[in-house]
């Protein structure tokens, strides 16, 4: 079989399997994300039938999936709303940074992996998966909820933190002095600032440029602009996801509605490819030796993210159920954690155990997060019914 035929065969099998898994998830009213990840785990490194021919396409498709997820999320908000939320949420961003990076740093030092590996692990434990959270928001219909802007501001602040973190950690891993990261750091700061100003002040010009007489022209223009900005953002060490998100917030009104309609099918396909891609990169045989450490770190990570979400929601006057929704939406770790680990693995400054530990940690939380989100409202309703029954019993007893 020729290479082209093999690529098409493997891609066809992957997409068909994803369709079946998605239908199965819908049948049982659960998120398909854990099923996508387990499918990737079964057919990746060390799996039952590794996918080799289609690997390049899947890798690029996964990046496109994250970009489209964040673009769609950006369509829900204007630049003014975002800037206001970021200004208001700065204290929560600092809390998030401190309590969620600390567990990774502490574990890295306790395992005697060295300060550089500890800093890398701190970045891994800090960053919520924007892609997974965006997918959960979409799947559960929570995009319009009151707590969503609060969650969104935390995600964006984390991604902006990565714009400053990645140049520094890359320099450390290269064995260079910290001062030599200053140029890259300055470029990242300028890129983020320019992007926010353009989104805030010149959104109307962009909308007029993208306005199109047909869906064909619209999807080509919008998709091209998204990928162009995402690529430029990634090139200056700013998250491609942040770039795509900023494109989304520049669009509003009828144009935003049309863009969402034409890109939704593409978003769904490539988002599924992203989650499969993560599973494909994980060797199942390397996970058992680090599961205990990863499990303990995951438990701490769940608690710290819940604290972040609950505190942030309380500051914004959000009710109990909304606060718990905010907390569980922050639990998943994913694309950024893997990127950070990928930078470190293979360098002389980190142990070979770092890669499997991060993979196990992310796999646990990327499964637990969506499942926990699915359980928030049923548990809240059960608790409310139990309280009502207790009140009724108390009233009967007093009578």
**Predicted pLDDT of residue 236:** 67
**Predicted pLDDT of residue 86:** 67
**Predicted pLDDT of residue 78:** 67
Q: Look up the pTM and report it.
A: 0.75
**Predicted pLDDT of residue 113:** 92
Evaluate whether 165 touches 178 at the Cβ level (below 8 Å): no
Evaluate whether 92 touches 312 at the Cβ level (below 8 Å): yes
**Predicted pLDDT of residue 79:** 65
Evaluate whether 123 touches 104 at the Cβ level (below 8 Å): yes
**Predicted pLDDT of residue 115:** 92
Per-residue pLDDT of the chain in tens (399 residues, 90 and over written 9): 788 888 888 889 889 989 999 898 878 766 687 788 788 878 776 666 677 777 788 888 888 988 888 788 778 766 666 666 667 778 898 999 999 999 999 999 999 999 999 999 999 999 998 878 988 888 888 888 989 988 988 988 887 787 678 777 877 787 765 566 566 567 666 766 676 677 667 767 777 888 888 889 999 999 999 999 888 877 766 667 777 877 887 777 778 888 888 898 998 899 888 888 877 777 778 888 999 999 999 999 999 999 999 999 998 899 989 999 999 999 999 877 887 887 788 788 888 888 889 988 988 998 899 889 988 888 877 777 777 777 777 766 665
**Predicted pLDDT of residue 282:** 72
CA distance 100 to 162: 14
Instruction: Give me the domains of the chain, ranges plus CATH numbers.
Output: 17-49+64-376 (1.20.1530.20)
CA distance 266 to 217: 15
- Please name which of 305, 301, 283 lies closest in space to residue 359, comparing C-alpha atoms: 283
**Predicted pLDDT of residue 278:** 75
Q: Which residue has the tokens 């239908």?
A: 23
CA distance 76 to 71: 9
**Predicted pLDDT of residue 223:** 92
């Amino acid at each position: 079989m020729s290479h082209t035929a093999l690529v098409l065969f493997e891609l066809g099998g992957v997409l068909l399997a994803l369709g079946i898994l998605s239908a199965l998830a819908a049948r049982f009213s659960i998120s398909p994300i854990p099923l996508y990840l387990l499918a990737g785990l079964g057919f990746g490194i060390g799996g039952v039938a590794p996918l080799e021919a289609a690997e390049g396409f899947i890798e690029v498709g996964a990046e496109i999936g994250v970009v489209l997820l964040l673009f769609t999320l950006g369509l829900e908000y204007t630049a003014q709303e975002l800037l206001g939320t970021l200004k208001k949420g700065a204290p929560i961003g600092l809390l998030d940074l401190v309590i969620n990076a600390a567990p990774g740093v502490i574990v890295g030092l306790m395992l005697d992996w060295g300060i550089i590996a500890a800093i890398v692990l701190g970045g891994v434990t800090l960053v919520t998966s924007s892609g997974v959270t965006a997918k959960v928001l979409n799947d559960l219909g929570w995009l319009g909820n009151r707590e969503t802007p609060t969650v969104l501001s935390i995600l964006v602040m984390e991604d902006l933190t990565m714009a400053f973190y990645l140049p520094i950690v890359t320099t450390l891993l290269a064995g260079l002095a910290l001062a030599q990261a200053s140029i890259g750091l300055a470029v990242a700061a300028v890129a983020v600032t320019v992007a926010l100003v353009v989104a805030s002040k010149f959104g109307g010009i962009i909308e007029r440029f993208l306005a199109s007489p047909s869906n064909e022209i619209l999807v080509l223009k919008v998709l091209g602009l998204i990928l162009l900005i995402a690529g430029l953002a990634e090139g200056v060490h700013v998250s491609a996801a942040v770039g795509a998100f900023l494109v989304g917030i520049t669009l509003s009104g009828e144009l935003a509605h049309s863009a969402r309609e034409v890109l939704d099918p593409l978003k769904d396909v490539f988002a599924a490819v992203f989650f499969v891609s993560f599973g494909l990169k994980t060797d199942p045989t390397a996970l058992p030796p680090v599961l205990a450490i990863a499990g303990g770190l995951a438990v701490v990570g769940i608690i710290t993210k819940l604290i972040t979400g609950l505190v942030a929601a309380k500051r914004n006057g959000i009710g109990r159920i909304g606060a718990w929704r905010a907390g569980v939406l922050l639990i998943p770790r994913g694309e950024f954690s893997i990127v950070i680990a990928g930078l470190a693995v293979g360098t002389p400054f980190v142990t070979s155990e770092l890669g499997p530990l991060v993979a196990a940690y992310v796999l646990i939380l990327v499964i637990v997060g969506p499942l926990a989100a699915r359980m928030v409202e049923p548990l809240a309703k059960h608790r409310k019914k139990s309280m009502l029954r207790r009140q009724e019993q108390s009233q009967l007893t007093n009578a």
